Amino acid sequence: MKAVMVGATRGMGRALARLLAGRGDALALLGRDPNELLTSSRDLVARGASGPVPTGHLDLAEPAGFEAALDAADRALGSFDALIVTGGDFAPQETLERDTARLARLLEVNFTGTVVLCQQTAERLARRGGGTICAFSSVAGDRARRGNYLYGASKAGLSAYLDGLGLAYADRGVRVVSVRPGFVKTAMTVGLPVPPFAGEPESVARVVLRALDRGKPVVYAPPIWRWVMLVIRLLPRAVMRRARF
C-alpha cells in the first residue's frame, strides 16, 4: 500500500502508521506541525517503512491547500493508492457551547475539511482505477447525546458522507472504510472520565488495519462498541431524556 496519512503523529493515527510501516508499506505524512511530522517520519523509517517517509503541510481547516498537498504526495510516493484521515478536532461540550469560534473550527476540521479532502481524493483515485479512503468518524455520531451533541453532530455528518461516498464510488474501484472508535485513551481524551470499554490506540489500530485489508465499509473499535451503540440507538427518546443521557 502507498498511503497518504493525515494525523499520523499521535494517538490512533501514529499507532496505525507504525503497523503499516512495520509491514513495509510506503507512507507520506501530511499535517500542521513540521517538527512532529519529521519526528514521526524518522520513527516510521526506523520501523520498516518502504523508502523515505515524505512530509507536507495540510490543515484540515484550509481546503485551499489540499490539491497541492495531494499532488506533492503523489510525486513523492509515485502515485498513492490510499488516503487515511485520522486527524480531527475535539473539545468538551461546555467549551463549544460558550466559544463559537472554537465550535466553528471543530466543525470545519471534522466535517467540511475532511469531506472536501476525501472528495478530492476519491476523484483522483477513481481516475486512476481505484484505491482506498479510510477516515475516522466516531460512535458519537451514531446517536445524539446531551453531553456531546456538538462534537457528535460533526461526526454524524461525516459518517453519513462516508457511507454515501462508498456507495457512489464503488463502481469506480474506490473502497471507503468508515472507522467509528469509542472512547480511546489518547492525548485528546486526557482528563476526561474513562468509561467502560475504553480502548488503547494500539488495539484500535490493529482492528482498523484488518478492516483496511478487507475493505470493510464500517468498523467499530474496540469492536464491542458496535453492540453498545446498537442498544443506544434503540433507546426511546423519553428514556434518553429521563436518564439525562
pLDDT score, position 190: 72
Residue 205 confidence (pLDDT): 96
Question: What pLDDT shows up at residue 118?
Answer: 98
H or E stretch including 161? helix 149-169
pLDDT at 243: 78
Residues of the chain with pLDDT under 50: none
- What's the pLDDT score for residue 39? 97
CA–CA gap between residue 53 and residue 44 (Å, rounded):
7
3-state secondary structure of 245: coil
pLDDT at residue number 197: 78
**169 is annotated as an active-site residue:** no
Q: Which helix (H) or strand (E) holds 153?
A: helix 149-169
Grid cell 477516515 in the structure block, residue: 135
Note the pLDDT of residue 191. Answer: 73
Q: What is the pLDDT of residues 129-167, one digit of tens each?
A: 999 999 999 999 999 999 999 999 999 999 999 999 999
Choosing from 151, 161, 169, 220, the catalytic residue is 151
Q: What are phi and psi of 142, to 5 degrees?
A: -80, -30
